[in-house]
Amino acid sequence: MTGTRWLITGGAGYVGAHVVRAVLASGREAVVVDDLSTGARDRVPAGVAFLDGSVTDASFLTGVLQAVRPDGVVHLAAKKSPTESVSDPLRYARENVGGVTALATAALAAGVERIVFSSSCSVYGTPDVELVREDAPLLPQSPYGDSKLYGERLLAAAARAHGTGLVSLRYFNVAGTAEPALADTGAHNLVPLALRALRSGTSPVVFGDDYPTPDGTCVRDYVHVEDLAEAHVRAAAALELDLSTATYNVGRGEGSSVLEVLDALRRASGRDVAHEVRERRPGDPARVVGSTERIEAELGWRARRDLDEMVSSAWRAAER
Ligand SMILES: NC(=O)c1ccc[n+]([C@@H]2O[C@H](COP(=O)([O-])OP(=O)(O)OC[C@H]3O[C@@H](n4cnc5c(N)ncnc54)[C@H](O)[C@@H]3O)[C@@H](O)[C@H]2O)c1
């Protein structure tokens, strides 16, 4: 519904900055809350109100929601490294679980009835199926994945108890950028890691080439961040019509191997980079690809951009 107002936590981050732009492009108003722990103030467009503070602070959030009176909240603010969560699980409990608890508390206090929650395919752990559907077993393998699953469940319980609306979006592997200034600066995902290696003159590392996949390397479902951002707008629109609860995979429903991503990088950069194969990393599943049937059927959303568009936009941003 054009003219509605959405508060976006984590709107100064990689995904959040794209969500803010998609929300604005849909004719809605956006307001950002972010503590800038990994985000950047200059990712928030001019004219969008920015409130600096932590989502773990329920009284700060309640004050913000009471002042801003949004029609809904897109909750992206969180820490996102599964590896870091293994070495510092309590930080992930404080930030991710604490953030969801504070948000649910503040939303209830301020009468905000709609939440779109940033979840992750890490709630599935190591699925043993070709295409993972939303009703697959939920067996996260890291405190990060646990924090996302708990977030989904807590928000769903609160939505049930108070008759409010919730959409949880389980992102698969996010890549690409709408513009260089919004690129992923974290060093957790394959595309930024490979770009970093390329730019520093080292070889991108492939962890394991003996998986039971067509070329022996891990297969993932990559989704362009602009497509992902548009899924949030579809979710917001659905909640504006109906205060229900739903969970959706957000991917392309198509797998790409590590070697296919590196080939896309060779095409984008024009450089014939050699990669280095190392031992498998513990806990890396061979294949994680989402079924997108549900989000297509219920929200009419489908990814439009392919792997080359993701990798070439990321390459152009790195070249800047
Ligand atoms: N990028 C991915 O591949 C991916 C995949 C699945 C899920 N997600 C989820 O998407 C969300 C956004 O991820 P991203 O890739 O944009 O990460 P990011 O680190 O770029 O963005 C997170 C944003 O949240 C802010 N933030 C963090 N903790 C905060 C707090 N306590 N209070 C207020 N602001 C806080 C950061 O400053 C940053 O701007 C996260 O919830 C993440 O778990 C990301």
Question: Can you tell me the distance from the alpha carbon of 38 to that of 268, in angstroms, rounded to the nearest whole number?
Answer: 27
Strand 276-278 vs strand 49-52: parallel, antiparallel, or unpaired?
unpaired
- Domain topology for 5-174+221-250: Rossmann fold (3.40.50)
Ligand 1 and 152: CB distance under 6 A: no
- For 27: left if phi > 0, alpha if psi spans -120 to 50, otherwise beta; the answer is left
Look at ligand 1, atom 13, and give the residue with the nearest C-alpha.
15
Amino acid letter at 242? D
pLDDT of residue 6: 98
Question: Can you tell me the distance from the alpha carbon of 207 to that of 188, in angstroms, rounded to the nearest whole number?
Answer: 14
Question: Can you tell me the distance from the alpha carbon of 96 to that of 2, in angstroms, rounded to the nearest whole number?
Answer: 30
Ligand 1 and 231: CB distance under 6 A: no
Its CATH architecture, for the domain 176-220+253-289+305-319, is Alpha-Beta Complex (3.90)
Single out the residue of 271, 8, 309, 252 nearest to residue 131, CA to CA: 252
Ligand 1 pocket check: which of 8, 9, 14, 91 to mutate, most ligand atoms within 8 Å of Cβ? 14
Ligand 1 and 134: CB distance under 6 A: no
pLDDT of residue 186: 76
pLDDT of residue 272: 84
Give residue limits of the domains in the chain. 5-174+221-250, 176-220+253-289+305-319
Q: How large is the angle between the packed helices 98-110 and 58-68, nearest 10 degrees?
A: 40
Question: Can you tell me the distance from the alpha carbon of 275 to that of 197, in angstroms, rounded to the nearest whole number?
Answer: 10
Q: Which residues pair with 153 in a beta bridge?
A: none
Lookup: tokens for 64: 């913000």
Q: Tens-digit pLDDT profile for the chain (320 aa)?
A: 778 999 999 999 999 999 999 999 999 999 999 999 999 999 999 999 999 999 999 999 999 999 999 999 999 999 999 889 999 999 999 999 999 999 999 999 999 999 999 999 999 999 989 999 999 999 999 999 999 999 999 999 999 999 999 999 999 999 999 999 999 987 778 888 888 888 888 899 999 999 999 999 999 999 999 999 999 999 999 999 999 999 999 999 999 999 999 999 999 999 888 899 999 987 788 999 999 999 999 999 999 999 999 999 999 998 87
DSSP secondary structure, 244-276, as one string: -EEEEEES-S--EEHHHHHHHHHHHH------E
pLDDT of residue 192: 87
Q: How large is the angle between the packed helices 225-241 and 14-25, nearest 10 degrees?
A: 50
pLDDT of residue 299: 98
Ligand 1 centroid – CA 112 distance (Å): 22
Fold match, 5-174+221-250 / 176-220+253-289+305-319: no
pTM exceeds 0.95 for this model: yes
Which atom belonging to ligand 1 lies closest to the Cα atom of 121? Answer: 6
Which atom belonging to ligand 1 lies closest to the Cα atom of 175? Answer: 3
